[in-house]
């Protein structure tokens, strides 16, 4: 029931199939071990998303702390990125977009992924992030502004005023 949601969320953060699979397993192991700590003050899905996000962010921190050899860097960038919601013909664009999303600060990235990639309502995103809907709206607006700036700097021909 939640396996695909956990995996997709982890993949959205990590952009690495193997790490996303590992995080998915870790999340369900944590749920099993800590089921008695769930207080019922939020939906189960909110609790599961929160665990997933924390584990994904921890993995990113761990990855960033570890010194990398040139071979590891090369291998990491050559990973075959495949998000289940992305059509094959859009894969290259999606891969680039996710790499730009990864440059957002953690709170903007979380709000963006949960809202636009996972399609969650803003109230649920606010619950997962333990903040208000207004704060989520603000984070999404800043995320979109930052993404637009980065994408325009790379694709200036796509700059259309609206």
Closest CA to 140 of 111, 116, 119: 111
d(CA 20, CA 59): 10
pLDDT of residue 124: 95
pLDDT of residue 122: 96
3-158 is classed CATH 3.90.280.10: no
Contacts of 100 (CB under 8 A, 6+ apart): 147, 150, 151
**Confidence band for 160, pLDDT divided at 50, 70 and 90:** low
pLDDT tens digits for range 75-132: 444 445 555 555 556 667 777 788 888 899 999 999 999 999 889 999 999 999 999 9
Contacts of 146 (CB under 8 A, 6+ apart): 103, 104, 108
Query: Between the CA of residue 2 and those of 31, 47, 67, 119, what are the distances in Å?
Result: 11, 11, 34, 14
d(CA 16, CA 39): 32
pLDDT tens digits for range 10-30: 998 888 899 999 999 999 999
d(CA 110, CA 121): 13
In this model, does residue 72 exceed pLDDT 80? no
Domain boundaries, the chain: 3-158
Longest dimension (CA), the chain: 54
d(CA 69, CA 63): 12
Residues 110 and 102: beta-carbon distance below 8 Å: no
Helix (H, G, I), strand (E, B) or coil at 7: helix
Contacts of 95 (CB under 8 A, 6+ apart): 15, 81
- In the predicted model, what is the mean pLDDT of residues 142-150? 94
């Amino acid at each position: 029931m939640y396996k695909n949601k956990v995996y997709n969320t982890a993949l959205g953060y990590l952009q690495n199939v193997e790490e996303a699979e590992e995080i998915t397993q870790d999340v369900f192991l944590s749920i099993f071990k800590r089921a008695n700590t769930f207080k019922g003050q939020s939906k189960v899905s909110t609790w599961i998303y929160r665990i997933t996000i924390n584990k994904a962010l921890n993995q990113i921190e761990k990855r960033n702390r570890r010194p990398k050899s040139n071979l590891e860097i090369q291998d990491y960038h050559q990973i075959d990125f495949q998000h289940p919601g992305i059509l094959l013909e859009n894969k290259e664009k999606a891969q680039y977009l996710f790499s730009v999303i990864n440059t957002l600060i953690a709170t903007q990235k979380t709000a963006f992924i949960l809202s636009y990639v996972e399609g969650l309502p803003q109230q649920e995103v606010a619950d997962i992030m333990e903040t208000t809907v207004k704060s989520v709206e603000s984070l999404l607006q800043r995320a979109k502004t930052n993404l637009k700036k980065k994408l325009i700097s790379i694709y200036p021909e796509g700059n259309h005023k609206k």
